[in-house]
Amino acid sequence: MTMPSIAAQVDIALGERSYPIVIGTGLLGDAVVSQRARAGSQALIVTNTTVGPLYADQLARALGARHGAVRVLELPDGEQFKHWETLNLIFDELLAHGADRKTVLYALGGGVVGDMTGFAAACYMRGVPFIQVPTTLLAQVDSSVGGKTAINHPLGKNMIGAFYQPQVVVCDLDVLKTLPPRELSAGLAEVIKYGPIADMAFLDWIEANVEALRACEPAALAHAVRRSCEIKAHVVGQDERESGLRAILNFGHTFGHAIEAGMGYGAWLHGEAVGAGMVMAAELSRELGLVDAAFVQRLTALIARAGLPTRGAVIDPVDNAGRYLELMRVDKKAEAGAIRFVVIDGPGRAAVRAAPDALVRQVIDRCT
């Protein structure tokens, strides 16, 4: 077992809802995980059938000293299970074991487990504490941070949910060693996202280190997780509930969510859909005269080097662009049926814009 070592701490500043993101190695078996949990309270580790057998015992042992009772619930694994029925399994478990409002939920897994556990914590008895222990790169750089929790609906991705902040986020880089390469690439999509929207120097760094990241080199992963969390913390600290600025974190997601819903949840990984979605959003930005072709080519090349698709999926053989538009009108950024896109309006700067359907159709046709 690795000795615990903290490489960095990033703080999310949200007044009384502030919390730390602790990044390091050997943290899963360490007391840092439960540092903010009330001593003696019950604990429920929510995980899935893949991550549970790998890491739940280690985490449960670390929690034993702080919590009276620690139970583990394994959910079915996959985006296709991110729905009401699976969420209800968490409530069933809590109620069956008499969980009270001091019970702490630990989300041990990727974004699917994190989003569902956070939503369950927001709802159970109108809110119980929860702690994020993200085990995918995507969850460490994005989904575990910032308090968005949700489940999917057949008509739209992440449409049912709540803003509910965790007490702490613990990113143990060791767990990424067991992540399949395809999942690591999916996480890189959300890492890459931070460059064009906020920090071109970080984009330069990712270009120089993408092979090291794909090879799971610890120093490269530590930097990518820390810098991604810093950028996200800065944005969320200014706009927790996405009344404006926070929408920029959804660069590539409007197209991406349409791919996920259109293909059927789980067919494309979330990060894969975001990868192709970023190419489409960059191309739309170019069509709107905001960036040049060289910028789009640069971003597309990096997305490809990260092992991600750069062309969107065909989600309808008859009217592909029409189906994209239909699904994108359900997006949370849409206003009165008008789709609003996150575009790049200069290197390292993002904005939210509407665009004519005809132009969006052209972009979809060109990029799928």
Residue ranges binding ligand NAD (CB under 6 A): 48, 50-51, 54, 77, 79, 82, 109-113, 115, 135-136, 138-139, 142-143, 146, 148, 158, 175, 178-179, 183, 186, 270-271
Residue 126: active-site member: yes
- The number of angstroms, rounded, from the C-alpha of 363 to the middle of its chain's C-alpha atoms is 25
**Residue 190 appears among annotated catalytic residues:** yes
Q: Which of 253, 286, 298, 340 is the catalytic position?
A: 253
Q: Is 242 a catalytic residue?
A: yes
Task: State the binding partner of 129 from ligand GLY, ligand NAD, none, CB within 5 to 8 A by kind.
Answer: none
Q: List phi, psi (to 5°) of 335.
A: -125, 125
Select 34 or 158, whichever has its Cβ closest to ligand NAD. 158
Cβ-closest position to ligand GLY: 249
Q: Which amino acid is at 1?
A: M
Q: In the block, which residue shows the tokens 């950028």?
A: 231
Per annotation, catalytic residue among 223, 226, 227, 232:
232
Helix (H) or strand (E) holding 212: helix 200-214
148 is catalytic: yes
Q: Which residue in 66, 82, 270, 298 is the catalytic one?
A: 270
- Which residues, 131 to 160, sit near ligand GLY by CB under 6 A? 142, 146, 148
Tokens of 333: 């950024």
Are 159 and 150 in contact, with CB atoms under 8 Å apart? yes
Q: Quote the least distance from Cβ 266 to ligand NAD, whole Å.
A: 8
Q: Is 232 among the residues known to form the active site?
A: yes
**What is the distance between the alpha carbons of residues 90 and 117, in angstroms, rounded to a whole number?**
8
Answer positive or negative: Cα dihedral of 115, 121, 123, 124: positive
Residue with token string 């604990």: 43
| Rounded CA separation 21/19 (Å) | 7
Active site residue 253: yes
CB proximity list for 9: less than 8 A, separation 6 or greater: 20, 21, 22, 23
User: Of 66, 67, 82, 148, which residue is the catalytic one?
Assistant: 148
Shortest Å, Cβ 97 to ligand GLY: 31
CB-wise, 135 or 250, nearer to ligand GLY?
A: 250
Residue 358: CB minimum distance to ligand GLY, A = 28
Distance of CA 190 to CAs 206, 251, 256, Å? 12, 9, 12
Where does this chain bind ligand GLY (CB under 6 A)?
142, 146, 148, 246, 249-250
**Active centre residues (catalytic):** 126, 148, 190, 232, 242, 246, 250, 253, 257, 270
